[in-house]
Chain A
Amino acid sequence: MTKRRTPTWAEDSEVRGGGHERPYAYEQGNQQAYDQGNQQQYQGQQQPYGQGNQQAYDQGNQQAYGHGDQQAYAQPGQQPYGQGHQQSYPQAQQRQVGNESLRQYVQNAPPPLYPHHPEYDEGAAGGRQLTNTGTWRFNGRTSKYLDQATFQIYAPFDPYAQYTAVEPEPEAQEEKPGYTLPAVPESAWSVDTRRSRLLGRLILLCILLVQAGLSLRLGGTAFQDEALYIASGHYELDNLLHGTKLPVDFAAYFSGHPKLYPILAAVVDDRFGLFGVRVVSLLFMLGATGLLYSLTRRLFNLRAALGAAALFSVVQSTVVLGNLATYDAAAVFLLALSAWAVVRTDRMNALAVLLAAPPAALAFGVKYASGLYLPTLVVLAVITAHRHRGIRALGRGVVLGAGTVALLAVGYYFSGPLGGISSTTTDREKGADTAATMLQHSAEWGGLLFLAALVGSIAYVLRARMGEMPWIGGETTGRWRRAALGLVLTGTTLLAPAYQINLQTEISLYKHVGFGLLFAAPLAGLGMARLVGPHFRHPQLGILLYVLTLVFGMVQAQERAHSFADSTQMIAYMRTIVDKKGEYLAEEAEVPGYYLRDKTYWTQWNNTYFMDYRGKDGKQYAGAGAFRQAVRDGKFDAIVMHGAISPATYAAVKEGLKGNSRYRLAAVFPYTSSYGENAYRIWVKR
């Protein structure tokens, strides 16, 4: 007894009592009824305890009880059975064996050596049976009298004598059940209850509040991309409603379909302004966190779900995207929705997975880069298929893939040519960012979550359950399936960095890393739960992980959100000098183009990236030379620059301004970004 591992409370009287009662009840005739009727009921209703009992049999009680019984049943044929049988099974299967052996023991055991009693003997001869309730059954009827004779003698004189209802013999059902109960996932300290669910949702609410706070605190004026998408949305909306011609073919260079997110953004912007559009993004990100919680809970358990939501909600990408009016937030949400649908329909008909296809296809339409994650969804559909489905699980993946592709094909047919796909996503201009810096930055942005996911994956492969409640056996998915799940979800994190390293450009990488983190988050949550350990043994580790992620996320998000100029003053000044006819050169031209769209038209704003210009001297200029010559020629009515985005153009413009009396510096608006002090400089024509 020194090595006892059963919790003492698991060894309570109920357990013991159950054990003791059985041999008493296991008489010849009764046994059948017990096996067929009660056993099923017993196991069905009290599964946890059933397993607890086995435990007790295996470990604690075995010595005391098992040996005692064996001595009591000292029969020649029995001893080899009782001992030899148990030894012949490996330790791992002991539980099942224990269960099995006990039953077989009772079935196969010779009649017990109860002292002969006339009543027992007679009863046995008369075919009577002792029921559970302590009455006797004979001739198909139940009575408290021991036998027919006694009944006939005494019953007429017994005022309380009555026949109880006939209990029909339950018919034996030998055929295999048509439906196997799915494995009940281990979920928490206590079995999943309404209370734990409520608690989980309350914590989720706190997580979401933290996320919202982190995002909303960033604020700031419109970022270049936000300005571009919202402004384009206004023009696209006019194009849809009134057939107004588009100023430029946005579809040719957008990294998402210009008639999806931008239109939504424009509609919201009309009502609530930039803040409103950003709140929509925030809602998308909060929705993604919520879906993540739900799908992780279904994949693993409540604790992993909370961990996943907590970690995902504070990484830089989530926080920043929640305050960025671009289609990234919408795409993340749609991917999360699709993943959730995949996991949610795991036990349904294979066709049900088609529910995940529309959000997946839409995610691609909203932002083409989401396409990188569609394969993950397909593989996830295969892995999460109900485990009894076997090879048919592949069908789920095929169905989802085919459905998504079909939807995309239909969408493409109606949308027409989309040059933006190649120019922004598949065939983007190669940059000059090195793999080392990109990896380092990716590690800073998502490294912690990735590591947590790695820990989660390894731990998950090693053990399907944490073993907090070892008496809960239940079915678990196989090791290969667990490994595959960990590999796919964690590996997805690496897609974006790998792809962009291939493209050698770090543009938007911080956002795309966040897409991958969404998929790794479930395993990161699991990793966090495993770090904390069974029975919350090491809460400090979980807290440490969360706080570290939070601090990194907060700091990085703050830097990111203030990496560009605050344009308030510049816009206010430009508002006083622009008109419907002027031509303006502006760094981040989208920003004034968006804010001043009531006073100017989109094409009045020249960007500082590309320019082809035929000078007044008749020569054709391109690149920086074009800007220089255009400034010399006085092409622009106003020039707004700060040099942080296109330093080469800035230098060229300054060169053009040298000895040039057409322009006069009209305003200087200093601003502070996370890259340092800088200033908008505005030159106007004299």
Chain B
Amino acid sequence: MTFSVRSVHTLRTVRALAAALLAGALLAGCSTFSEEGRDQYERSQGEPPAAEGAEGAEGAGGEASESAKSVDQPYDVRPLLEPKKKYLGVAADGAPAKMNAVEDFAKRAGKKPNLMEFYSAWGDQYERELVQNAWDYGAVAYIAWEPFETSLKDIAAGKEDKYIREYASSVKELNLPVAISWAHEMNGFWYPWGTKKTSPADFTAAYKHIHDLFAEEGATQVIWVWSPNVINPMPKVKLKPYWPGDEYVDWVGVIGYYAEYGPHTYKSLYGPTMTQIRTFTKKPFIIAETAAQAGERKPADIKDLFQGTAKRDDVIGFVWFNYDKETDWRISSGPLSQKTFREQAQSDSFGFDVTKP
């Protein structure tokens, strides 16, 4: 018994057949090793696919995903939205980069502020250090984000997406609560995003777009503030067209100062605005910027502000504009003002520990 010539041939045929079948299998399996398949594999390895990986790998993409993993739980800002007590906020010169002004304010007021407003121009990086400083001090940062040098149309159209996303991902990475009031006083005419150059539709579109990008990036630490000026100077501008919707706003930040010539009671200063706003939303109010012009009435204004805020359950606090700008808005402008402020701030309903609201 040996190999017959025929069986050797058969064997060869079988082997040739096998080789052909193997090649066929390779072709059949091409989707495993196709472009798409490779991408899938790379993704599953936790790498960006080669196509987009070139810039993403060593650039911000890789870094971001690296740190995203180490981020612990996103800060739950819900307790900060409607705290039982009222915010005692301040906007002070140089703060929160330097805390001198704030500390001075706290000394005079006899209470540490727990909300700290500062301004950020469009195009600025998210100022992590400032937010961190404020937080370390014991205050929630409140950023008035001013879209200078851009148009709200462009923002809504997505031309600024890259910047917004970067900003949002920084917010997410820092993982500290922050109140953002974008394009405040939109119902006034004085800012580039004001009534003169921008339509309400553009404003809401841009506002929503920014909000959505933040949501996409997962920057859930933001307290969204929709911040109109009191309607007294321009009563004809209706606020409702500017309203983006309940799901886009956490606080309604009303801006109104006790000026020398103007309303001098809480009711006359904020009342009409709040009444109008209450026709379309029940979101809590915060007096986003306020102060009283130096003068004889200042102590009374201060008292009115405290009393009015304390009276209304749907106003969660105010931010004192403690600047000497145009006029001396600071509480230190006069000894009586300071004394009144100190007295009023003693009230237990103002100020609380933001880490345990």
Binary per-residue interface labels of chain A (646-675) against chain B in the complex, 1 for a CB within 8 Å, 0 otherwise: 000000000001111101111111101111
**B279 interface hit (Cβ, 8 Å):** no
**A483 interface hit (Cβ, 8 Å):** no
B24-40 interface with A by 8 A CB criterion = 24-26, 28-29, 31-33, 37, 40
Which one of B1-9, B117-125, B349-357 is at the A interface? B1-9
**A398 interface hit (Cβ, 8 Å):** no
Which one of A29-37, A38-46, A108-116, A544-552 is at the B interface? A544-552
* Complex CA–CA separation, A454 to B21 (angstroms): 10
A447 touches B3 (CB 8 A): no
| Residues in A neighbouring B44, C-beta threshold 8 A | 558-559, 561-563, 672-674
B247 touches A670 (CB 8 A): no
| Residues in A neighbouring B10, C-beta threshold 8 A | 462
Q: Which residue of A lies closest to B216 (CB)?
A: A668
B33 touches A440 (CB 8 A): no
Q: Could you tell me how many residues of chain A have their Cβ less than 8 Å away from some Cβ of chain B?
A: 67
**A523 interface hit (Cβ, 8 Å):** no
B78 touches A684 (CB 8 A): yes
| Residues in A neighbouring B25, C-beta threshold 8 A | 443, 447-448, 451, 548
B218 touches A670 (CB 8 A): yes
How many interface residues does chain B have, given as a range? Answer: 35 or more
B32 touches A666 (CB 8 A): no
* Complex CA–CA separation, A527 to B22 (angstroms): 12
B218 touches A679 (CB 8 A): yes
Cβ of A605 to closest chain B Cβ, rounded Å: 20
**B129 interface hit (Cβ, 8 Å):** no
B32 touches A5 (CB 8 A): no
With A670-B68, A675-B40 known as contacts, the answer to whether A661 contacts B46 (CB < 8 A) is: no
**A19 interface hit (Cβ, 8 Å):** no
**A633 interface hit (Cβ, 8 Å):** no
* Complex CA–CA separation, A558 to B245 (angstroms): 44
B165-219 interface with A by 8 A CB criterion = 172, 215-219
**A572 interface hit (Cβ, 8 Å):** yes
Cβ of A286 to closest chain B Cβ, rounded Å: 24
| Residues in B neighbouring A440, C-beta threshold 8 A | 28, 31
With A443-B28, A443-B29 known as contacts, the answer to whether A5 contacts B7 (CB < 8 A) is: no
**B343 interface hit (Cβ, 8 Å):** no
Q: Which residue of B lies closest to A463 (CB)?
A: B7
* Complex CA–CA separation, A558 to B43 (angstroms): 10
* Complex CA–CA separation, A545 to B25 (angstroms): 11
Q: Which residue of B21, B28, B216, B246 is within 8 Å of A444 (Cβ)? A: B28
Which one of B11-19, B144-152, B153-161, B229-237 is at the A interface? B11-19
**B45 interface hit (Cβ, 8 Å):** yes
Q: Which residue of B1, B45, B68 is within 8 Å of A95 (Cβ)? A: B1
| Residues in B neighbouring A667, C-beta threshold 8 A | 73-74, 218, 220
* Complex CA–CA separation, A681 to B216 (angstroms): 9
**B130 interface hit (Cβ, 8 Å):** no
* Complex CA–CA separation, A660 to B219 (angstroms): 19
* Complex CA–CA separation, A565 to B96 (angstroms): 40
B43 touches A672 (CB 8 A): yes
B26 touches A548 (CB 8 A): yes
A448 touches B22 (CB 8 A): yes
Q: Which residue of B21, B40, B247 is within 8 Å of A661 (Cβ)? A: B247
* Complex CA–CA separation, A55 to B40 (angstroms): 59
Cβ of B257 to closest chain A Cβ, rounded Å: 30
| Residues in B neighbouring A681, C-beta threshold 8 A | 215, 218
Task: List 5 extra interface pairs beyond A451-B18, A458-B14, A562-B45, CB under 8 A.
Answer: A454-B21, A664-B220, A665-B220, A666-B220, A668-B215
Closest 5 CB pairs between A and B?
A668-B218, A661-B246, A562-B44, A674-B44, A674-B40
What are 28 inter-chain pairs, A to B, with CB distance below 8 A?
A: A444-B31, A444-B32, A447-B29, A448-B25, A451-B22, A454-B21, A458-B17, A470-B2, A470-B3, A541-B18, A545-B22, A552-B32, A555-B33, A577-B76, A658-B247, A659-B246, A664-B250, A665-B215, A666-B78, A668-B220, A669-B218, A670-B68, A670-B218, A672-B65, A673-B44, A674-B43, A675-B40, A681-B215
